[in-house]
């Protein structure tokens, strides 16, 4: 059944390649996704310093320290600073960790269960995406204003998703200055528009060994062709600033020469985790699942297990986590819930046990 659905929906299957050809194929996918969809990635900063602004060692019943840190960067000859936070267990160790691309600044907040993260044996970093550049169609704001002082963009000039991804990579730069982290188990996570951003971050930065997309939908994890809910026409009219201008060339989706399973494939050979919600028709759980099915070939060509799934569409409260692509779907609506986080904790803990 899935084979037939993929034949109908995926017009650009992952190509055959030998393992030694993957770097070149992966680069080809990244190039097309950047040129036609997200825009050109920003260069690494020419200067980068971190300033710890505050530390509270009594977080989560005094088991962890919460810090506020400011990244001071220089990009295109201009200084740009943004804040982020860390929560790290006080007990010495090497902790697996999350970089959470978030909608809000508070720790914890409704999307960010910082205490549960600590209780599950992880460290975490988070930032509010609006501190990097505001989630509005104003290209002159903060980081975006350095690239586009008059707000004008052309063709494949960067959109804001790729700017938020740049900020997540700077937090990984900071993480790498610490000796209490387990870099074999570093995850990037985001929900919805920030799930799209987590996938783009994972595409650009292989230091993230787990890439977690929660309900990212259209222009995130979902196959675009024949999906339910949101499409390129709506998303580029409502949120033009998330993408590069070229993406509007695909409002007629029959013109697509790429699709979102290629974005998922760029995560190979690392671990991709895709989460859906039953009632989230706008994102389309089936389209997210089919995209995982289509991306699987990238891992298989590398001699790895891709997506292990039944030969049917998913039903709520399923977790398929035997391969390097993991998929979960829960009941209820569009949200990054405590329940989703718990599934992600368990998947990563389980993989860590197996890799020991
Ligand atoms: C919607 C948008 C979706 C999704 C969502 C969100 O309005 O159409 O693609 O990103 O916002 O971020 O909550």
The model carries a pTM of 0.98
In this structure, which CATH number among 3.50.50.60, 3.40.50.1820, 3.40.50.720, 1.10.10.60 belongs to the domain 2-354? 3.40.50.1820
Are the beta carbons of 267 and 300 closer than 8 angstroms? Answer: no
- To test ligand 1's pocket by mutation, which of 217, 219, 277 has the most ligand atoms within 8 angstroms of CB? 217
In angstroms, what is the span from residue 180 Cα to ligand 1's centroid? 35
Are the beta carbons of 282 and 334 closer than 8 angstroms? Answer: yes
Q: Name which residue sits closest to atom 8 of ligand 1, judged by CA.
A: 235
**Is the distance from the beta carbon of residue 197 to the nearest atom of ligand 1 less than 6 Å?**
no
CA atoms within 13 A on the CB side of 48: 15
**Is the distance from the beta carbon of residue 235 to the nearest atom of ligand 1 less than 6 Å?**
yes
- To test ligand 1's pocket by mutation, which of 194, 234, 239 has the most ligand atoms within 8 angstroms of CB? 239
In angstroms, what is the span from residue 308 Cα to ligand 1's centroid? 28
In angstroms, what is the span from residue 101 Cα to ligand 1's centroid? 15
**Is the distance from the beta carbon of residue 217 to the nearest atom of ligand 1 less than 6 Å?**
yes
- To test ligand 1's pocket by mutation, which of 195, 198, 220, 230 has the most ligand atoms within 8 angstroms of CB? 230
Closest by alpha carbon to 189, among 229, 160, 221, 158?
221
Active site amino acids: 192, 334
pLDDT per residue rounded down to tens, the chain (356 residues): 999 999 999 999 999 999 999 999 999 999 999 999 999 999 999 999 999 999 999 999 999 999 999 999 999 999 999 999 999 999 999 999 999 999 999 999 999 999 999 999 999 999 999 999 999 999 999 999 999 999 999 999 999 999 999 999 999 999 999 999 999 999 999 999 999 999 999 999 999 999 999 999 999 999 999 999 999 999 999 999 999 999 999 999 999 999 999 999 999 999 999 999 999 999 999 999 999 999 999 999 999 999 999 999 999 999 999 999 999 999 999 999 999 999 999 999 999 999 98
Whole-angstrom distance between the N-terminal and C-terminal Cα of the chain?
36
Q: Is 149 exposed, middle or buried (0-12, 13-18, 19+ CB in 10 A)?
A: exposed
- CA quadruple 104, 109, 110, 112: dihedral sign: positive
Are the beta carbons of 98 and 72 closer than 8 angstroms? Answer: no
């Amino acid at each position: 059944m899935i084979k037939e659905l993929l034949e109908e929906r995926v017009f650009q299957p992952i190509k055959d390649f030998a393992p030694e050809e993957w770097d070149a194929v992966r680069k080809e996918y990244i190039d097309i996704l950047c040129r036609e969809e997200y825009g050109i990635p920003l260069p690494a900063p020419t200067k980068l310093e971190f300033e710890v602004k505050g530390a509270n060692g009594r977080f989560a019943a005094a088991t962890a320290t919460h810090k506020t840190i400011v990244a001071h960067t220089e990009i295109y000859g201009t200084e740009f600073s943004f804040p982020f936070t860390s929560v790290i267990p006080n007990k010495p160790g090497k902790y697996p960790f999350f970089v959470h691309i978030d909608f809000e600044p508070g720790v914890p907040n409704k999307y960010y269960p910082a205490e549960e993260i600590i209780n599950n044996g992880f460290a975490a970093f988070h930032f509010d995406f609006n501190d990097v550049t505001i989630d509005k169609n104003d290209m002159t704001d903060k980081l975006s204003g350095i690239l586009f002082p008059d707000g004008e963009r052309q063709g494949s000039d960067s959109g804001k998703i790729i700017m938020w991804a740049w900020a997540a990579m700077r937090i990984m730069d900071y993480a790498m200055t610490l000796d209490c982290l387990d870099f074999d188990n570093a995850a990037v996570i985001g929900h919805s528009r920030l799930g799209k951003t987590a996938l783009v971050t994972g595409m650009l930065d292989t230091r993230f060994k787990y890439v977690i997309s929660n309900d990212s939908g259209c222009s995130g994890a979902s196959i675009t062709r024949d999906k339910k809910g949101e499409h390129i026409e709506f998303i580029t009219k409502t949120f033009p600033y998330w993408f590069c201008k070229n993406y509007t060339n695909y409002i007629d989706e029959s013109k697509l020469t790429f699709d979102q399973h290629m974005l998922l494939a760029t995560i190979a050979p690392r671990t991709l985790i895709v989460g859906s919600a039953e009632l989230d028709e706008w994102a389309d759980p089936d389209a997210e699942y089919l995209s995982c099915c289509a991306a699987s070939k990238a891992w298989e060509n590398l001699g790895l297990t891709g997506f292990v799934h039944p030969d049917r569409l998913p039903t709520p409260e399923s977790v398929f986590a035997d391969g390097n692509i993991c998929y979960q779907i829960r009941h209820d609506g569009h949200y990054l819930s405590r329940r989703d986080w718990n599934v992600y904790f368990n998947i990563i803990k389980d993989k860590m046990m197996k890799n020991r």
